[in-house]
A = this chain, B = another copy of it.
């Protein structure tokens, strides 16, 4: 508004280079390049000098990758899901839904297992030294 000539178009939301993206998303620069090699993250472009340029959205994308990993997805799975969600126009949401349904069943199983162990271990801690033969194995197997 003060200088119409200076800022004609909307601010391009300054593209990030590797360092800033790494700091903003909490991973190492080497990890960003690794993710790129793995087909998980592609820069929007390159500067004249060859510097990678990422959109601010990439921060979300990287955080998504990390979060999904924490939750037990492999990078291969993350890549597949991201590839689907990257599809332009004709969204293969049925595919996503199917994948997601599969994952739901897995998650249910995993949660049930963990709850079982949790219960067994909690009981072990409560009741104290019950050790006829092998307390831990009995609790988990």
Number of copies of chain A assembled together: 2
A12 at interface by CB-CB < 8 Å: no
A137 — which chain B residues lie within 8 A by C-beta? 60-61, 64, 85
Complex partner residue of A118 from B82, B96, B111, CB under 8 angstroms: B111
| Contact (Cβ within 8 A) B104 A68 | no
Q: With an 8 A cutoff between CB atoms, is A36 at the interface?
A: no
Interface size of A in residues (CB-CB distance below 8 Å): 44
Check: A23 CB closer than 8 A to any chain B CB: no
- Say whether chain A's binding surface is mostly helix, strand, loop, or mixed: helix
User: Which residues of chain A (94-141) have a CB below 8 Å from chain B?
Assistant: 96-97, 100-101, 103-104, 107-108, 110-111, 113-115, 117-118, 121-122, 124-125, 128-129, 131, 134-137, 139-141
Which of A68, A82, A84, A93 has its CB near the most chain B CB atoms (within 10 A)? A93
